[in-house]
Amino acid sequence: MLVGEDPTDIERLWDQMFRASLPYGRKGLSMFAISAVDCALWDIFGKALQQPVYRLLGGATKEDMLVYETTNDRVDWDNHEFFGVKLAMPYGPADGREGLLKNRDLVKECRERIGDKRDIMLDCYMAWDVEYTIRMIDLVEPYGVRWIEEALSPDNIQGYEKLARYTGPVALATGEHEYSRWGHRDLLATGAISVFQPDINWVGGISETRKICAMASAWGLIVVPHAGGLQAAGLHLIKSQVNCPFAEWVRTWNRDSGRPVAGVLGVPDPAHGRIRPSEAAGLGISLNEDVLEQA
C-alpha cells in the first residue's frame, strides 16, 4: 500500500492504512503497525526538511519538560529531581480489605519518604472495579494522590460513568490501552477522565495522538502520553503541544546489572529532572548497527 507513495502525504496514508485494516483491526496489533509507520513517516518528513519533528508539529510550546518516574523502588523515590512518583498498585479486589490496606500503606510510605512537595500517582493496570476504586480513593486521599490511572478497562464505559458521579478529590487518568481518537472520544464522554494517556506507539502514531490532544484541549484536559519520556516520537509530540505539560519516564534496566547497550540511539535521558527531544533532523534516532550485527 505504501510502496511508491509520497511519504509526506501523512494524513492520507494514515487514513488509507486505517480503512484497509478495519476488517481485522481498529484496535490492538493493527494499530501498533500503523503507529510505527506513522512515526516513521514523520521521521522521513523531518529529515527531508532538515528539521526536528516537533517543529513540523507547530514548533515548541516549552523549552523542555518536567519528568515523573514510574517506580516502586525505594531507592528511586529518593531522586528528588523528578517532580513526582507513580506507584504500581500491587493489590486488587481479589485481595480483599487486606489488599486495600497494603495499597494504602505503600502510598503512605512513599509520601513519608518523598515529602509533601512532590506528586504521587497510582497505576492500577485495569485491575480494579468501580467499588474498589471508590474505596481506594477514600483511603489514599489524605496522602495527596494526584491521579489514579487505568482503574478500569477502557471498555468499561459504564463503570467510568459511575466513577464520574463520585465527586472525590483524586483525578482519574486512562488511555494507555485505548486506540484511536474514537476510543478516547468515548472515554471523554463519560465525564470521568481528567488526564489522557495515549501511547504514541499504540494509539496510531504522532498523527492520531495530535488529534487526541486537540480534542482534550477543548475540554481543558491534559495529555500525558504513556511512557512518553522513553519514546523519541513522544518527546517531540509533548514539546509541540500546549496541553502536554510533562513526561513519564521509567528506568527500564536493573540497577545492579547496569544499563544494556541500546538498540536505538538518540533517545535522551532526563537531566536534572527535565527532558527534551533531539534537535537533529526527524526524530533524531538511529539504529545501533553493532547491536543488529550481534543479533
Ramachandran assignment for 206, one of left (phi > 0), alpha (psi -120 to 50 degrees), beta (any other): alpha
What's the CA gap between 54 and 74, in Å, rounded?
35
Cα distance between the two ends of the chain: 29
CB 44 within 8 A of CB 282: yes
Judge whether 237 and 62 are in contact, CB under 8 Å. no
For residue 80, indicate whether it is catalytic: no
CA-nearest of 247, 142, 158, 250 to 197 is 247
Report how far residue 61's alpha carbon sits from residue 29's, in angstroms, rounded to the nearest whole number.
32
Name the catalytic one among 80, 226, 236, 272: 226
Beta bridge partners of 127: none
> Which residues have C-beta within 8 Å of that of residue 113, sequence separation ≥ 6?
74, 77, 78
Please name every residue paired with 87 in a beta bridge, in sequence order, or none if there are none.
122
Other beta carbons within 10 Å of 150: 23
- For the beta carbon of residue 160, count every other beta carbon within 10 angstroms: 25
Rounded distance between C-alpha atoms, residue 19 and residue 241, angstroms: 27
**Catalytic residue numbers, as ranges:** 226
